[in-house]
């Protein structure tokens, strides 16, 4: 059975470009972003890992640790990292996980046999500090991920954890948010002093509480 939202992210130990890690120990009290790549020295993956490296400051602001898994060994990962750093002007400082035995890929259901019997799809897992899976996305091998969307979802998840709100379609940080239906309207005005806009009794907006 594939992993579902709210499941505990399966723990594992693996060799990586920063040494051997235990996933749960590595994450500690941080959020985690686990990304799978079909193989080393492939073009779309090269652009994605370069972009992940360029965005490390943004991930750190959000207390997110990034990890990459590919079904190749650590030596290949190091060689590929040099290419990625050269192309993108970055220094990769997060772990690239070696998964030649496909332990991690199978644990996280990253290999879809009808797409490829051996290569992983482009999986995305966002893991919260309680080690719960909060987001899963699956892209085909030919399509690079949208990192703006990944950051947007992390922003939404972290906001929702802090306040009793939800985020509407196409929401971005700073936009109005939706007040939880668990809060009565008479109580919402007190909890959200920036104001309440009621469209329907079940659809009520308030300004982003983080602003």
DSSP three-state, residue 127: strand
Gap between the Cα atoms of 67 and 52, Å rounded: 10
DSSP three-state, residue 46: helix
Given 9, 14, 45, 127, the catalytic residue: 45
Gap between the Cα atoms of 62 and 172, Å rounded: 15
Gap between the Cα atoms of 90 and 199, Å rounded: 47
DSSP E strands in the chain: the ranges are 13-16, 19-22, 31-37, 64-70, 96-98, 122-127, 133-139, 165-166, 177-179, 197-200, 203-206
Cβ-proximal residues to 92 (8 Å cutoff; 6+ apart), any chain: 17, 49, 53, 81, 84, 85
With contact defined as beta carbons under 8 Å apart, do 33 and 59 qualify? yes
Q: To which H or E segment does residue 106 belong?
A: helix 103-107
Gap between the Cα atoms of 150 and 135, Å rounded: 9
Question: Is 45 an active-site residue?
Answer: yes
DSSP letter, residue 17: B
Active site residues: 45
């Amino acid at each position: 059975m594939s992993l579902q939202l709210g499941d505990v992210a399966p723990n594992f130990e693996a060799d990586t470009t920063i040494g051997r890690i235990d996933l749960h120990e590595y994450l500690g009290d941080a959020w985690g972003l686990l990304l799978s790549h079909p193989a080393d020295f492939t073009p779309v993956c090269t652009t994605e890992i370069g972009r992940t490296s360029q965005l490390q400051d943004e991930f750190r602001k959000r207390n997110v640790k990034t990890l990459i898994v590919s079904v190749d060994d650590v030596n290949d990962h190091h060689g590929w990292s040099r290419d990625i750093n050269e192309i993108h002007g970055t220094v990769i400082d997060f772990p690239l996980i070696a998964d030649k035995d496909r332990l991690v890929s199978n644990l996280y259901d990253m290999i879809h046999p009808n797409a490829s019997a051996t290569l992983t799809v482009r999986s995305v897992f966002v893991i919260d500090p309680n080690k719960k899976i909060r987001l899963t996305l699956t892209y085909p091998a030919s399509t690079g991920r949208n990192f703006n969307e990944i950051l947007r979802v992390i922003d939404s998840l972290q906001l929702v954890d802090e306040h009793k709100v939800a985020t509407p379609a196409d929401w971005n940080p700073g936009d109005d948010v939706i007040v939880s239906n668990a809060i009565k309207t008479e109580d919402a005005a007190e909890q959200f002093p920036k104001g309440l806009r009621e469209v329907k009794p079940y659809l009520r907006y308030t300004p982003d509480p983080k602003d």
